[in-house]
A and B are shown apart, each in its own frame.
Chain A
Amino acid sequence: MPLLTGALFVLPALLLFSVFILYPLSTALSYSFFGWKGTLRGEFIGLENYIKLFSTPPFDTALPNAFQHNLLLFFGAMVFQNSLGLLLAVLLHKIGRMKRLFQTMFAMPYLVSPLVVGYLWSLLLSPLFGPINLILKQVGLESWAHPWLGDPNTAIWAVVFITAWQWVGFPMLLYGAALGGIPDEVSEAAEVDGAVGTQKFRLITLPLLLPALGTVSILTFIGAMEAFPIPYAVGGSTGAPAGATDVMALMFYRTAFESGDVGSIGTSSSLAMLLFLFIFGVAIVLRYALSRSEKRLYG
C-alpha cells in the first residue's frame, strides 16, 4: 500500500485523536505547572499546585478521604462483585440451553446508565417510602431497616453494593468465556489422575482462569478509580452525607467547576494528573505482573 493512500485513510482518525485526546492530555499536564488567575495563565511555578493539594485546606483533608473511598470501592468490588461473578460463571458452566437466558438476566443491569442505577437505588433505599426498608420490616428484620445512604458509616458500602449489583455480569461473562475455553480433555485427565472434591477446581480450573482474573482485576481497578456517576447520583457533587461518598473524580469536578477559587485551573489540573499517573501506572504494573505470572505458569 502506498504511503500516501495509507496516510489518507488514517488521517481522519488521527486528527480526532490528536485534537480530543493528545492535545488535552498534554495541555492539562502543562496547566498543572503554572499559576492561574481565573483563565489567565501566570508564571511557571513547578510543583507548587501539587504541593498545595497536600498542604492546603480543603484539599489536604478531602484528598485522602476521597482516595480512601476509591480504594474501598476497588477492594469491595474485588471481594464481592468478582467472586460473585466467578460463582455465577461456574454455576452456569455446562448448564445447557438455559445459560444464555441467565447470562442475559445477570448482565441486564450492566447496560443501564450508572446514573440511572444510582438514582434508582437511592429511591429504593429511601428511608421514607423505599421498598427495601419496607421489605426488611415485613420479614421481621426490623433492625436491618436503616437509612443506608443517609448514614455516613454505611453510605460508601451502599455505593459498593450498588456498583456490584450493576457490574457483576461483566466478570461473569469474562470468566464464562475463559471457562468455555478450557478443553474437556484437561479436566477429564485430572479426573483420570484421581483429582477429588475441590482439587480439580483448585488445581486445574483456577490456574487456567488466571488470565481472565488478571483482566478483570485491571478493569475493576480502572473502574473503581474512575467512579463518578453512581456517587454523584447518591450523594451529589459534594459526596453527601458529610463527604462519606466523596471520590477522586467528584473532587476533581468540584475543584474545576464549583470551587470559585482563582487558581482552580492549576489545582484541578494537578489533581487530574496525579490520578492519571496513579491509574495508568498501576494498570501498567498489573499488566506486567500478569504477563509474568502467565509465563511462569505456562512456560
Chain B
Amino acid sequence: MRKFSVLNLPKWALLWLYAFVSLAPLSIMLLNSFRTTQEMATAPLALPEDPNFSSYQKAWVTASFETYFFNSMFVTILSVFLGTAVSLLAAYVFARSKRQVFLWLEGLFLSGLLLPVFLAILPIFYLFDALGLISNLGGLILVYAALSIPFSTFILAAFFRQLPIDLEEAARIDGAGHFRTFFSILLPLVRPAIATVVVFRFVPIWNDFFYPLMLMRDRDSYTLPVGLTRFFGEYQTDWATLFAGLTIATIPLIVLFVFASKQLISGLTAGMSK
C-alpha cells in the first residue's frame, strides 16, 4: 500500500514543516521559562545555557500561582466527577426507558450542545450574589457540572444503548434491583465511555476563563486563567516569569494528553455523529 518514492518527498516535507509550526511556539514557551529576562532581551531565541528555575519560584510563590493552581485542580476534578455522576444516572434512564417524558428530556439536554449558554451568565451572577456564592469555588463547581450534562449524557447514553440488555435481565431474574444492576453490572461495562467523558470535560473546564472571570471576584478564589490575566498586568516586563506562568497553566494538559490521547481523539470525533 505504502510506496516510497520521490513523489512522496513534498508530502513528508509539508508534514514536518507543519509539525514545526505547531510545536515551535510551545517549545519557545517552555525553553524561555528557563531563561532570564535579560537573556531574552539580548537573544530572543536561544537554548537555555544555564537552566534557571527562579522564574517558576517567582510565579508559584510571589505571583500566587500556587493558589490558582490548586483552585483550578479542585474545581476541575470535583466538577468533572459531579457532572459525570449525574450524567451517568440520567443516560442510563435515557437508554433503557421508552417513556415519552425521558425522550423529551434527552432532547432538551442535547439542545444544550448547540446553545451558547454562556450568554446567560448575568442571572447566574445575581443568583450567586443572593446566595453568597460569589467567589465561592463550590458554586463554580455546580455551574461546570451543569454545563457538562449535554455532552456527557450524549456520549454515555449512546454507549449504554450499545450494551446488550440480556445482562441486566439476568441480574433482574437473580433478584437485583435497578440500583444494584446499575452499580455492579453496568458501571464496570461503561468504563471506556466514562474515560472519554472525564478526559474530554477536563480540558474545557481547566481552560475556562469566562465563568470565573465574572463569578470569582476575590483573589483567593481565582482559577489559573483568571489569575493569568491579573498576572499579565502586573508582570508585563518580566518575560521569564510570564513564560513560567504560561507553562504552569499548560503542564497538566500535556500530562493528560500523553496518558489519554486515545480518549481525547475519540471524544473529538464523537462530535461527528451529533
Please state if A113 and B112 are interface contacts (CB–CB under 8 Å).
no
Residues of A within 8 A of B264 (CB): 107, 111
Residues of A within 8 A of B256 (CB): 111
Q: Which listed residue (A124, A173, A268, A276) contacts B268, Cβ 8 A?
A: A173
User: Does A139 reach chain B (CB closer than 8 Å)?
Assistant: no
Interface positions of B from 192 to 249, Cβ below 8 Å from A: 203, 206-207, 209-210, 213-214, 224-225, 228-229, 232, 239, 242-243, 246, 249
How many residues of A are counted as interface, with CB atoms below 8 angstroms from the partner's CB atoms? 88
User: Does A75 reach chain B (CB closer than 8 Å)?
Assistant: no
Q: Give B268's nearest chain A residue, CB to CB.
A: A173
A104–B93 Cα gap in the complex (Å)? 36
Please state if A124 and B86 are interface contacts (CB–CB under 8 Å).
no
- Chain A 100-129, CB-CB to B under 8 Å as 1, else 0, gives 001111111101111110011101100001
Other A-B contacts than A23-B127, A108-B26, 19 sampled, CB-CB below 8 A, are A2-B178, A20-B146, A21-B112, A21-B146, A21-B149, A24-B117, A31-B122, A31-B123, A91-B15, A96-B1, A106-B18, A109-B22, A115-B207, A120-B26, A120-B246, A129-B41, A228-B210, A276-B119, A280-B114
Residues of B within 8 A of A252 (CB): 119
**B residues whose Cβ falls under 8 Å from a Cβ of A:** 1-2, 11, 14-15, 18-19, 21-23, 25-26, 28-29, 40-41, 44-45, 85-87, 89-90, 92-94, 96-97, 99, 102, 105, 108-109, 112, 114-124, 126-127, 142-143, 145-147, 149, 153, 178, 182, 203, 206-207, 209-210, 213-214, 224-225, 228-229, 232, 239, 242-243, 246, 249-250, 253-254, 256-257, 261, 264-265, 268-269, 271-272, 274
Contact count A vs B, C-beta below 8 Å: 237
Please state if A173 and B207 are interface contacts (CB–CB under 8 Å).
no
A14–B96 Cα gap in the complex (Å)? 17
Please state if B225 and A131 are interface contacts (CB–CB under 8 Å).
no
User: Does A56 reach chain B (CB closer than 8 Å)?
Assistant: no
A15–B29 Cα gap in the complex (Å)? 42
Residues of A within 8 A of B182 (CB): 9
